[in-house]
Amino acid sequence: MPEKRFTQSKPKPTITALPKLGMDKEALTFDFKRYYSHTLGRNEQCRSPHYAYEALSLAIRDRLMERWKETYNSYKDTDCRRAFYLSMEFLMGRSLSNAMLNIGVTDEGSRAMYDLGLEIEELIESEPDAGLGNGGLGRLAACFVDSCATLQLPVMGYGLRYEYGMFAQLIINGEQVEEPDHWLRNGNIWEIERPEYAQRVKFGGHTESHIDENGNTRVCWVDTHDVLAVPFDTPVPGYKNNTVNTLRLWKATATEEFDLQEFNAGDYADSVAAKNTAENITMVLYPNDANENGKELRLQQQYFLASASLQDILANWVGRHGTDFSGFAEKNCFQLNDTHPSIAVAELMRLLMDIYGMGWKEAWEITSSTMAYTNHTLLPEALEKWSVSLFQRLLPRLLEIIYEINAKFMAQVSAHWPGDLERMARMSIIEEGGEKQVRMAYLAIVGSFSVNGVAELHSTLLQHGLFNDFYQLWPEKFNNKTNGVTPRRWLAACNPELAELITENIGEGWLTDLSQLRKLAPLAEDAKFRKRWHEVQQAAKQRLVDFKKAELGVELNVDSLFDVQVKRIHEYKRQLLNVLHVIHLYDRIKRGDTANWTNRCVLIGGKAAPGYYMAKRIIKLINNVSNVVNSDPDIGDMLKLVFLPNYRVSAMEKICPGADLSEQISTAGKEASGTGNMKFMMNGAITIGTLDGANIEIREEVGEDNFFLFGLTESEVEEMRHHYDPVSMIEQDQDLKRVFKLLECGHFNQFEPGIFDDIINSMKSSHDPWMTIADFRSFIDAQRRVKLAYQDQERWTKMSILNCAYSGKFSTDRTISDYNREIWKLTPVSVDD
């Protein structure tokens, strides 16, 4: 007799009804062993920490999964309004330690591993960074989703699952060499593939229009090459609140017809090659943090993200409400992380009209009341433009819609400023004259109900400079949302000793209400507390020293001032100004001008876009100066310069607790906000900085006595441009003159003649946009004040405590509360245990 099969009678919900998993050491140990042995098939003989990392991660993931499901159901049941964060980058870094912290099993998990003879640190270190971003903008997206989950807000992140993330940086002979980052090679425990929610994305083809049964014109986009978007979901846990939100990343794969068409044409090789074309779309992250103009694949990526995400959201809506979109705008909001996903404006119009049969007016009403745009740069050369001809070839239907949006917008401009043709030309989404271009920022502004900058100064400059025409037309759209960083990763997890000292003294409320760090301020006057603070900071410096000794073989002296600049290498960020200061100190030592000296380690790290020639030369200069300085026996411990290779999220987690001085020295008006500045401040480093980006607000919070200010203001920079004469400034400043003499005589490139000529010439040019020389004297003087402050360790420690104490504003919990109060207007949804 065959066995009887009960396939029909099983009531559905019991499939996933499971007893709740334990959060104690024993439960974690049991699950760890089961995964290690039965799932991964390893035993004691296996020496690699990778499998232990995987086993522990699987055990943690199970606990996330329970809460993820609950969160999903809570959102569904409450039918709440939601926001979607659309971003080409999510620089998540590592997940294990963050997940353990947020579900509250850091101690139990560490003890479980310890009792098994495993070092939790080693497991944590074996996780590769999810480096799906370039820098600030990508890491901001990651901090945002952390804070959204912590604030119990129904927000989902949408992005791309790049097969290759940000390249790994090697330094060979002082130069950057890029190595591909195949971060998925050993699998990714933290993602769940959901092929059942795959979406189809169109490219190419042409449009046809016809009259439908109701007499309305309908457009069909036909003869397209379609690509399948397959979602991979990553859980995003809130801090100890049972909320687990979703980050959904799309992977591009070939459709079945794609294979068949080519296959039937008879060429197997062509068919496989065609598959590659489709799958190339999410193959690699573009490693430039400024607009590399015109790359077709980049536009494909942008549209792929926008289209797949919007189709997903609309399919979900239709699944629950049918094709009645009357309540859609009340329930949904899209935040565009820069212009990169701004094609979403046109794509939502297309989907509502062409797929769901809506008229223009109704579709525009929905689109322009659900889209919100965040700008991250003022540099005009970084503003995205796409040639109309590329658009026509790749996304013909989208181009039609953009033209229509622009025609209606131009009519509005003309009504507001009758006869002002210049203004119309300035504001047009389509740039005329020469090759026609689509201005993506203008599309984003026209299509959004909110436009924000990322720090007060930046937002002001957007309103009065870059986007002034739009601000005059729609002042109510413009607002500021000063950036932040998540205090869970950037204080609690990366600096546990400091976190513990803080908690011992003011309780643990600061973890979700960072303004409570203010309670530390009075303790700056307590000598015993200062002593503890200093000890913890020295221990963090020692850990950094040990890491760098193991990684690079360099010996740093913990008693010297750790002076740190880590960020992308960019001329506007002025790593060169930092190098000029190092050369100046070197020159002073060589001249014997060392009375009252303070030993200093200058640490500089960051990646250059592979095609950015000047940035790569700056890296070479830093390394060459480093070689000369560090190998000179006259210099010894008085001065060290070290380039920190392969700067990334997990590197910053080790660097920021060990920094004394945070270098935030961009040309005023150029750094939109900066976020590294906030991480350093939170960990008690003191900033030397210009009045740029969020530095201004940092100084406001901590007070001028606890911040080393230097340099021209934004308006002074703009004024000086007209008569900027760096050559005579060099001539008139004896210190600067000697620094340039060393550079120009080839002191740092003895056997590499001429390699720094371009750098030298750029600084000496009266057209140098970054005006490095203009701020030299002021910078050197500020560094002298730094040194004097550091010599009084009691004073320095006070300043350090106060920097941490007044860093509360720079939590992304505050930033996200601001976004929510003023833009998203979501109601928090609590998730039951």
Which residues are paired to 220 by β-bridges?
208
d(CA 589, CA 597): 9
- Cβ-based neighbour number of residue 640 at 10 Å: 23
The nearest distance, CB 221 to ligand 26Q, in angstroms, is 25
Nearer to ligand 26Q among residue 694 and residue 743 (C-beta): 694
Nearer to ligand 26Q among residue 445 and residue 639 (C-beta): 445
Q: How is 564-594 classified by DSSP, letter by letter?
A: EEES---GGGTHHHHHHHHHHHHHHHHTT--
Catalytic residue among 61, 385, 481, 573: 573
Nearest to 444 by CA among 386, 361, 381, 358: 386
The nearest distance, CB 376 to ligand 26Q, in angstroms, is 4
Query: Considering the rule CB under 6 A, would residue 461 count as an interface residue with ligand 26Q?
Result: no
Query: Considering the rule CB under 6 A, would residue 288 count as an interface residue with ligand 26Q?
Result: yes
- 689 — phi, psi (to 5°)? -160, 165
Residues 377, 512, 797, 803: which binds ligand 26Q (CB under 6 A)? 377
Q: From 115-123, 261-269, 376-384, 474-482, give the range in contact with ligand 26Q by CB under 6 A.
A: 376-384
What is the pattern of x (binds ligand 26Q, CB under 6 A) and - over residues 685-724?
--------x-------------------------------
Which residues are paired to 385 by β-bridges?
439
For residue 588, CA distances in Å to 262, 639, 745, 747 come to: 70, 11, 17, 15
What is the pattern of x (binds ligand 26Q, CB under 6 A) and - over residues 401-440?
----------------------------------------
Q: From 10-18, 134-142, 230-238, 407-415, give the range in contact with ligand 26Q by CB under 6 A.
A: 134-142
Query: Considering the rule CB under 6 A, would residue 140 count as an interface residue with ligand 26Q?
Result: yes
Task: Answer whether 335's CB lies under 8 Å from 86's CB.
Answer: yes
d(CA 491, CA 498): 8
Helix H, strand E, coil C: the string for 701-731 is: HHCHHHCEECCCCHHHHHHHHHHCCHHHHHH
The nearest distance, CB 247 to ligand 26Q, in angstroms, is 18
Is 71 strand, coil or helix?
Answer: helix
What is the pattern of x (binds ligand 26Q, CB under 6 A) and - over residues 648-687?
-----------------------xxxxx------------
Q: Binding to ligand 26Q (CB under 6 A): which residues in 336-375?
A: 340
The nearest distance, CB 90 to ligand 26Q, in angstroms, is 12
Token pair 């294990």: residue: 96
The nearest distance, CB 652 to ligand 26Q, in angstroms, is 14
Task: Answer whether 557's CB lies under 8 Å from 601's CB.
Answer: yes
Query: Considering the rule CB under 6 A, would residue 136 count as an interface residue with ligand 26Q?
Result: yes
d(CA 243, CA 231): 21
Query: Considering the rule CB under 6 A, would residue 242 count as an interface residue with ligand 26Q?
Result: no
Query: Considering the rule CB under 6 A, would residue 482 count as an interface residue with ligand 26Q?
Result: no
Size of the site for ligand 26Q (CB under 6 A): 24
d(CA 525, CA 505): 14
275 in catalytic set = no
Q: Binding to ligand 26Q (CB under 6 A): which residues in 295-314?
A: 298
d(CA 58, CA 55): 5
679 in catalytic set = yes
Which residues are paired to 225 by β-bridges?
203
Q: From 175-183, 281-289, 470-478, 812-820, give the range in contact with ligand 26Q by CB under 6 A.
A: 281-289
Residue 534 falls in which region: left (phi positive, over 0), alpha (psi -120 to 50) or beta = alpha
Q: To 10 degrees, what angle do helices 440-447 and 396-416 make?
A: 70
Query: Considering the rule CB under 6 A, would residue 783 count as an interface residue with ligand 26Q?
Result: no
The nearest distance, CB 573 to ligand 26Q, in angstroms, is 9
Task: Answer whether 155's CB lies under 8 Å from 245's CB.
Answer: yes
Q: From 38-46, 283-291, 589-597, 824-832, give the range in contact with ligand 26Q by CB under 6 A.
A: 283-291
Under DSSP, the state recorded for 812 is H
d(CA 724, CA 667): 14
The nearest distance, CB 574 to ligand 26Q, in angstroms, is 13
Catalytic residue among 139, 202, 541, 567: 567
Dihedral (Cα; 508, 509, 510, 511), 10-degree rounding = 70
Query: Considering the rule CB under 6 A, would residue 289 count as an interface residue with ligand 26Q?
Result: yes
200 in catalytic set = no
Exposed / middle / buried, residue 208 (Cβ in 10 Å: 0-12, 13-18, 19+): exposed
Helix (H) or strand (E) holding 642: strand 639-644
The nearest distance, CB 288 to ligand 26Q, in angstroms, is 5
Catalytic residue among 675, 687, 690, 797: 675
Query: Considering the rule CB under 6 A, would residue 231 count as an interface residue with ligand 26Q?
Result: no
Measured from each CB, the residue nearest to ligand 26Q is: 136
The nearest distance, CB 670 to ligand 26Q, in angstroms, is 9
Nearer to ligand 26Q among residue 144 and residue 328 (C-beta): 144
Nearer to ligand 26Q among residue 312 and residue 671 (C-beta): 671
825 in catalytic set = no
Nearer to ligand 26Q among residue 441 and residue 786 (C-beta): 441
Query: Considering the rule CB under 6 A, would residue 454 count as an interface residue with ligand 26Q?
Result: yes
Rg value, the chain, Cα: 28
Catalytic residue among 568, 581, 617, 654: 568
Give me the residues that bind ligand 26Q (CB under 6 A), please. Answer: 134-137, 140, 286, 288-292, 298, 340, 376-377, 384, 454, 483, 671-675, 693
Active site residues: 376, 567-568, 573, 675, 679
